[in-house]
Amino acid sequence: MLDFKKAISELLAKELPELYLDEIKGMIEVPQDTKMGDYAFPCFRLAKELKKAPQIIAAELAEKIKDADIFENVEQVNAYVNMFVSKDKLSGDTLSEVIERGDDYGSSELGEGKTVIVEFSSPNIAKPFHIGHIRSTVIGNSIYKIYKALGYKMVRINHLGDYGTQFGKMICAYRHWGNKEDVEREPIKTLLEYYTKFHEEVENDPSLDDEAREIFAKLERGEPEEVELWQWFRDESLKEFSRVYNMLGIEYDSYAGESFYSDKMPRHEKELEESGIMVDSQGAKIVDLEDQGLGVALIKKSDGSSIYITRDIAAAIYRKETYDFYKNIYVVAAQQSLHFQQLFAILRLMGYDECADGCVHVPFGLVRLEEGTMSTRHGRVVFLEDVLNRAVEKTREIIAEKNPGSDNIDEIAKQVGIGAVVFNELSNNRIKDYVFKWETVLNFDGETGPYVQYTHARCCSLLKRAGDEVAAKAEELAKSGGLKLDYLTGDAAHELIKLIYNYPDVIVQAADRYEPSLVTRHVIDIAQEFNRFYHDEHIITDNDDEKVAKIALVLATKNVLKNGLGLLGVNAPERM
């Protein structure tokens, strides 16, 4: 497929020997207003060097490149060279590429030979898998899919919160108020009740805190009774978590949580101690990062127990030594930004510069409830499984009302309902906080996942109405360059083709910025432009050449919508 930016850069480079090719390519803009062209080249910065007014430079450049066959028109507007690309060339190249590559359109070998780790979701064992976890879970899964599409070798890690002082509290609570039958019947909800009760009771009996700390110390020492209870809590929790991951269609390559690194920490604690990086402070062990503006990092508590950062140091080094990663991406809430800055700084102080250079924290904003911040301690949570089940049920009701005779209603309701929740999560810039509202999450109107899914289903319906023979002919002629492209010159068709053409670049941008919402926004734009094309033009016409050309565009749109939704972790149903 022709790279128009590159081709334009090469044309301009012949006229501008003062600039490097990459400089010129970086200066080319895509105007917001399509009336100003498909591409624009600003000439302001050339004025000083060429000792001419920018407007004159723009006029001269426009005159010199206007006859190139990649353009339909080139004009000077003030200090800009505005370029309108050949509609036939854009349409022919794009449709050929999309239909030829099908499910692979947008993918590349950009990351060939490089390993990228994505750590995401990482819920705490024996605590609820609540709506707050959906952010890390679906953002991380989408980043994994985006990088995989670019040819990177991917490793998905669920760094389970299966270690720490909270397990001392959980075991303490279970021994005081728990029983095995309740835990086995409803593990997470029951353990949450115990955890909540612990924090209520400790206000009246502070000695419970000391008891919990002693229990965790025993767990760290490997005492059999404590380890057995901890393992049981972990196994029961994973059963519940797996139900949610199955609903979301998410898998992992590793569930190595915090506990996995407990026997790997002493090596690095010794390195920190012997190098003088870690020092004593009131009985605890710390690394002073004040000179870097990062405060003091606590490595070991005064009672000798480890904390998150101790385990994260061991995890980062283990991953570098095991996977030799190019990037080690942590999809963790923005609240933990200082933690990761300290982690990466300590790795550098220890001499693990290459490891630290590949580590990336991808922060995201918080989810709040309308009544305030979620709190596991106080039992104020919305379970993610409940959200997904409610979305599926609402979707089933809508489908039953609109299409009472629909086949396979349960499967479609699952794909659309869960897709709505996931798409909603990925619609906005990940760093923004938001308030969880049922009416927003389950709203299927407007710029939503169901709208994009419906557009995909509409494409499938059009292809079915056109018939296999027409679809096959459209595919064959698109690949061979035999389509009658003058039937695809309307505004809606041209804008749709431009969006389809730009889709591979959007994937690269989303990877560079760790921002799935760029893909979400792009598939919404494609769906909206396709529906404008659908309403503005008659697609299944009596003119065979026109029908085949338009069906080729329908087929290309279907492919891109399916691929884009796939990068978000959302299904593309063929009927709705």
Report the side by side order of strands in the sheet with 115-119: 153-157, 115-119, 327-331, 359-362
Has 130 been annotated as catalytic?
A: yes
List C-alpha distances in Å: 513 to 21, 153, 249, 431, 510: 24, 19, 24, 12, 5
Give the integer Cα–Cα distance in Å for 355 and 268: 14
Phi/psi of residue 436, nearest 5 degrees:
-75, 120
Q: Which of 87, 130, 145, 394 is catalytic?
A: 130
Has 159 been annotated as catalytic?
A: no
Spatial CA neighbour of 458 closest among 355, 352, 532: 532
Looking only at the bridges linking them, the beta strands covering 39-42 and 80-85 are: antiparallel
Q: Which of 25, 51, 127, 285 is catalytic?
A: 127
Spatial CA neighbour of 363 closest among 245, 258, 513, 153: 513
CB 269 within 8 A of CB 305: no
At residue 27, what is the residue type? M
β partners of residue 306: 300
Q: How far is CA 225 from the centre of its chain?
A: 41
Give the integer Cα–Cα distance in Å for 332 and 334: 7
CB-based contacts of 469: which residues, under 8 Å, 6+ apart?
none
Has 320 been annotated as catalytic?
A: no
Q: Which of 35, 114, 133, 169 is catalytic?
A: 133
Give the integer Cα–Cα distance in Å for 166 and 168: 5
For the CA atoms of 138, 141, 147, 151, what is the dihedral angle to 10 degrees?
-150
Q: How far is CA 205 from the centre of its chain?
A: 45
The radius of gyration computed from the CA coordinates of the chain, to the nearest angstrom, equals 28
Q: What are the catalytic residues?
A: 127, 130, 133
